Structure 1
């Protein structure tokens, strides 16, 4: 890479770090091309990106960003994964690392919060952003349904009482 290409790579990584909410750092020594291709496909399906970056260029791109704390993790053959949905990228990387010993979780950063490998595994245990949204909508709609049934119940009871009085009134009139 010449100087111009390096500057472009640093600028591109800096733009990514400014827009994303989660960065995962892995070491990928010994992964075959087929393994990396499979990992990239899975990461892309989760809406994330996986990229092998030169450590020096990534360190320069991290300057002044919220992910500044992961600089010490950039040693050896590293790769970065990032996404707007932090749980999705963590799940994919952790699941792939379980099946392939050559991908080692180093750590990551959720905003300015630096995570170690155990922190990433704990994050991967959480439900995805879409699942959390569905749970939240379910929690919000459940009380509304209950309120509607409680509000309708007295009206239904009144209608039954009036109906019973009407029947007794008809019986007395006849």
Structure 2
């Protein structure tokens, strides 16, 4: 093998290692049996969510995984694999790939990486059921809004001289 070929492969390994380090999550899938049209649709869905979907040689992915401490991933890097890197939303790659796999049995989720931990395919599928970033934000806002709304109802009830349960309290003055 020439020096030039070795340096090109080293550059690819460095590129993959940087993607592992800079992404929020990564999911490895086997795509054997998908048509070109199916892969094109999948790439479009992933790109719309800020997910990068790449096909690398397994040996280069194995070397990059070893560089960043994800050696446990190497057992899954056999056969025709692709990897999806979640750059914006950590859940997006798992969610999109799991939804796509429901309709296309040829797509097999093999493993993933999130927050420095290598995940099994079952763990990736479990994570895929979580809402995305926007869904999480709306849930958080709803949780923050409810206590404020309760306080506002109590203050309003006191201002109207009513208990918080909505019953009216009559005030009478007794004459002496």
TM bucket (normalised to shorter chain) is: 0.7 to 0.9
- Tell me how far 1:66 sits from its aligned partner: 5.1
1:9 matched residue in structure 2:
12
Structure with the bigger percentage of helix: 1
Out of 110, 115, 118, the residue aligned to residue 114 of structure 1 is: 118
Higher Rg of the two aligned structures? 1
- CA distance in structure 2 between the partners assigned to 1:52 and 1:37 by the alignment: 13
Question: Which runs of no fewer than 5 residues in structure 1 stay unpaired?
Answer: 159-163, 169-174
Paired residue secondary structure (2:32): coil
1:47 matched residue in structure 2:
50
Q: TM-score, normalised by structure 1?
A: 0.82
Aligned residues of 1:10 and 1:57 also touching (Cα < 8 A): yes
Alignment pair present for 1:96 and 2:83: no
- CA distance in structure 2 between the partners assigned to 1:111 and 1:74 by the alignment: 20
Alignment pair present for 1:156 and 2:160: yes
5 Å-filtered alignment, 1:1-174, equals 2-65=5-68, 67-84=70-87, 85-157=89-161
- CA distance in structure 1 between the partners assigned to 2:126 and 2:40 by the alignment: 26
Q: TM-score, normalised by structure 2?
A: 0.81
- Tell me how far 1:19 sits from its aligned partner: 1.1
RMSD of aligned alpha carbons: 2.2
- CA distance in structure 1 between the partners assigned to 2:69 and 2:109 by the alignment: 20
Q: Aligned residue pairs: how many?
A: 161
More displaced stretch, 58-67 vs 125-134: 58-67
